[in-house]
Amino acid sequence: MAHLKIGIVGSAGRMGQSLVREIVQTDGVRLVAASEHATHPALGQDAGSFSGLGALGIKITDDSGQVFEIADSVLEFSGPQATVSHAGLAAAAGVCHVIGTTGLNPKEEAALGAAAEKTAIFWAPNMSIAVNVLIALAEQAAGALNDDFDIEILEMHHRHKVDAPSGTALALGRAVAKGRGVDLEEVSQRARDGITGERRRGDIGFAVLRGGDVVGNHSVILAGGNDRLELTHQATSRQIFAAGAVRAAIWLQRKPPGLYGMRDMLGFAG
């Protein structure tokens, strides 16, 4: 059976290296191309050696266009602007694109949707299978408990993360808002400082922590007058995100053009 040919954009970053290792360890897939931005010190090095493996014969280049030319599916965890640009390359080449980038604004999300009219694109703010189960559970819990229960979403990541709240925290926020039948933008409370007054009934609060090398911790807290429900996920290795992305690449093959996500792959309703 032919192997699925996978390319990686951003192959020398922390997630890129995890993707290289996951591809090598997964049956039925093969790394065929790897790229990085034009000033990255990893350019010219072997993607396998750079990721702590043996040489794979795949040199890291600054030609992301070539990655889309020779791969069946391209994996990417990068910045929003670069991701939108690469989605355009995927659409032009008819190549599947698996995206784990966070921090996209509504215009950039719409651009992914436009690219997905021409090819299959899979986008998830968090590629962990367990986190996406958490998102589904959070929606159900919010729907079952009325707004006598205050909802707070707490997330912590490493000191190098540049966007806040995390994409996963926002996905959790959208899930609990959907469970309650409200618009997240109307009830979202992103910051508290000084004399804020009492908590507004029905708000969905976000708290953000940054520090150390924390891979990613997320909690949804539903606090009532006499009891409290907490749903929590803690990531201890980036490898869980790489595993989810490779699984998505395999699942996405032969899918018609469209914008897909974890709900589609895991078979969740809604």
In DSSP terms, 36 is beta-bridged to: none
Residue range 129-235 forms a domain whose CATH class is alpha beta
Report the SS3 class of residue 243: helix
The whole-number average pLDDT for the span 146-163 is: 95
> What token pair was written down for 37?
């931005």
Q: Is the pLDDT assigned to residue 143 strictly greater than 60?
A: yes
pTM for this predicted structure: 0.82
Please give the Cα distance from 24 to 21 (Å, whole number). 5
Which residues are known to be catalytic?
157, 161
CATH of domain 4-123+238-266: 3.40.50.720
* Rounded distance between C-alpha atoms, residue 264 and residue 66, angstroms: 29
pLDDT at 239 over 60: yes
pLDDT digits (tens, 9 = 90+) for 60-119: 999 999 999 999 999 999 999 999 999 999 999 999 999 999 889 999 999 999 999 999
Burial of 113 (0-12, 13-18, 19+ CB in 10 A): middle
Q: Say if residue 269's pLDDT is above 70.
A: no
The predicted pLDDT at position 1 comes to 53
Q: What are the structural domain ranges in the chain?
A: 4-123+238-266, 129-235
**Please, what is the average pLDDT of the chain?**
95
For residue 43, give the amino acid letter: L
pLDDT at 197: 94
